[in-house]
Amino acid sequence: MMNDTGSFQLKFAEYSTRLSQVHLAMQYTVSGIRLKEHELSCDETVRRALDEIREGSQKLGKALTPEPSPEEVQSWAEREIASLTETFLRGHPHMQIVLNLGLVMLCTQFELFVNHLIDVILAVEPRRFMDLFPDKFVKAKEAVELGDYASVMRRLREKVVDEIDRAGTRDKFVKYLGDKFGVISEHEITIVHRPGGETNRFNGWDLSKLEAIFQQRHSIVHRGELPVTDLEYLGDVHLFFTAIQTVLTVNAVRRYTIKLDNSTSAAVVSVFAKLLGLNARDLDEFNERVRTMFPKREPRSL
């Protein structure tokens, strides 16, 4: 029984759009926090509450024995007000939590695309199991319980995806995506050109930087740290991940018999790739592959 590979298509547009949505969600949220901070600073109810704290502090001071000086009472009241203001009326502490959650979401979405790519490659070319992962197998009992060929192959793919998902960042991109699948090389993990200029901004954004980003994610999730402090950094990470997804997509289409899903325009992928400095010859090969496989979806000339 042959597995129907027609439904296995690479969903570049869907995953790239979700990355963008995560970034935009952070922008909206941070803007909302800033607006709320401004509203609270002008709120008469808040101002009256702070005044009442000051008045209450004076009454409390007079009830103490020995009675503190007016200066001591005022100093204590202002410290309390400053603490309350910083905790509840300032947006920065809340923004920092949101920004770090944003980094976690970007990393998770990026990993989902990598897992999706691996699943599609092995689905359309199942014979790759023999040379790439000959040690992966399904026991007879499990195969019988799964019931059919498609379910057994899906379980094998899950085993491979799980192995790669648990690997460290360097192993994932060098050992697996690079050496085994041949869809990216270490020198391609970079941003050659940022749309709109500012190329120097991304000096050093390479495999080591990718590792550092995921180390930040680890510190947020497992140690409760908050290393991300500004929204612009999330925008840079978003672009970096999009660049890598673009390279993976172009190389996977060139190397394997992969179809792009209907929502993904080959022309759009090419535009991304050109902006990010992908090799022109590789792009030509990518476009030719799309023209050969999908004559009705020939990409527009750019």
pLDDT one-digit tens code per residue, 231-261: 999 999 998 898 899 889 988 988 888 888 8
* Residue 64 resides in a domain: no
* Residue 82 resides in a domain: no
For residues 99 and 89, the model is more confident at: 99
Domain encompassing residue 290: 9-32+91-297
* Residue 50 resides in a domain: no
The model's pTM: 0.74
Query: Nearest Cα to 96, choosing from 247, 242, 225, 278?
Result: 225
* Residue 66 resides in a domain: no
Q: What pLDDT was estimated at residue 15?
A: 92
* Residue 73 resides in a domain: no
At 181, the amino acid letter reads F
With beta carbons less than 8 A apart as the criterion, state whether 255 and 123 touch.
Answer: no
Query: Nearest Cα to 240, choosing from 107, 43, 61, 129?
Result: 107
For residues 149 and 171, the model is more confident at: 171
Mean pLDDT over the full length of the chain: 78
* Residue 199 resides in a domain: yes
Paired strand residues for 260: 10
Distance CA 155, CA 148 (A): 11
Tokens of 92: 């920065």
Model confidence pLDDT, tens digit, residues 168-205: 999 999 999 999 999 998 888 876 544 455 556 677 88
Residues 6+ apart with CB under 8 A from 183: 117, 121, 177, 247, 248, 251, 252, 255
Q: What is the dihedral of CA 249, 209, 180, 193, to 10 degrees?
A: 40
Model confidence pLDDT, tens digit, residues 45-93: 767 776 677 777 666 666 666 777 777 767 776 777 666 666 565 546 7
* Residue 52 resides in a domain: no
| Total number of domains constituting the chain | 1
Q: Indicate whether 222 pLDDT > 80.
A: yes
* Residue 171 resides in a domain: yes
Written in H, E and C, the secondary structure of 225-258 is CCCCCCHHHHHHHHHHHHHHHHHHHHHHHHHCCC
